[in-house]
Structure 1
């Protein structure tokens, strides 16, 4: 090959490399804010202070935002309930700390998490159950759930968007310790898993429990059964199904553009060099 041909090929290769590099820079700049925007807000709500009490059942569970630290004073033997919202693509972690009285026997504490259908959700990892020794001043528990999915098969037990309940209690409590005062702290944080957990499907409505109540002044049966009281009014800061956008869309577009650039570059490198006939 002549020096002119080699120079022309090197020039075409350089142009292809520059084009691919420019495309990657543009896509990287576009992907960075998109991925950042898909991250859920972990800051507590500005509407009110953190809760200072806990419910005693599912129906009376105290609502708490993600990122908020809820506290409660109770007695050994009580069942303490809190509720929080979790949306698709989030992996919630529940952390609980129980401060014990100066004199107490060894006791086992346990934190359980239930979804909106009151199905107990398994912990992916974390110390869900711990035994506090007699001289222990406190005990710390944690439970990291599986990633919340936007949709699942009816027979599956996957976490779905909606209200989740935290139950904190003692297991195998001795009679001498029954009624001793304790204080508890609970906080829920989530990690945004992103497009790796995205699925093709979504629920029509999040799993937020509600009960049918009679309408005031209703004469017919349809009117008396038409009102529903929502047991949990708390929801994510940017609304339900906020995870419809994920980085999977970005990287799918990146793959398509790279494939197009590779095709153009391959054609430029392999096509024959036209030679003008000498007059």
Structure 2
């Protein structure tokens, strides 16, 4: 484990399960049930509160907020804006998942507005991060057309410009706060074939940063390391994406902090 980390993933997992943080998630229709179950298995308390009339008020109650623009609509966007404003005013960390933000002008405008509200963490695939940093990506829809390594420079620039942590997820994950950077190895090729696992990872990232709001870099690494370890373990038993999903949920709940630290493959970049 790199010595640049103030706490290990295992230490943060133990703290997260003790705190059982309440995390508000404004996510997409496809992901709501899956993300909630994944967060419960990991040790957090998810709340799927999105409407404008209560999103801001709830953000002040929750320990963290996550925003995923996967199935964007005017009503959802209004709730996102209210929640992000309230989280910022209350000093609560929040995570932005800019799903396919480059696909349409409506999505681009929505993400530009959300970026102005200063997310604590941005998590996306390589194409999303490259495009968010202002470069041309090869993404198509929600899928990345670029490699993680091709997005590393863009991630560092994005982190420096927005004073936040940026996570690029893919075959090897990359996390940076603009000064420190790590790569996280593990996972499984089956993971992108299970609906909403990436969206669920955004929720789990919110749970870890809710536990350690002063350590968003370490919190992000802990979330990604947890998924990488569990994904690698489950891939040894699953026969395909259908059996992978329930096995992933069970193993996520059974993973111990000591096991996470022993098996996490986090290296300085």
**If the length of structure 1 is used for normalisation, what is the TM-score?**
0.24
Greater CA radius of gyration, 1 or 2? 1
Q: TM-score, normalised by structure 2?
A: 0.24
Which one has a larger percent helix, Structure 1 or Structure 2? 2
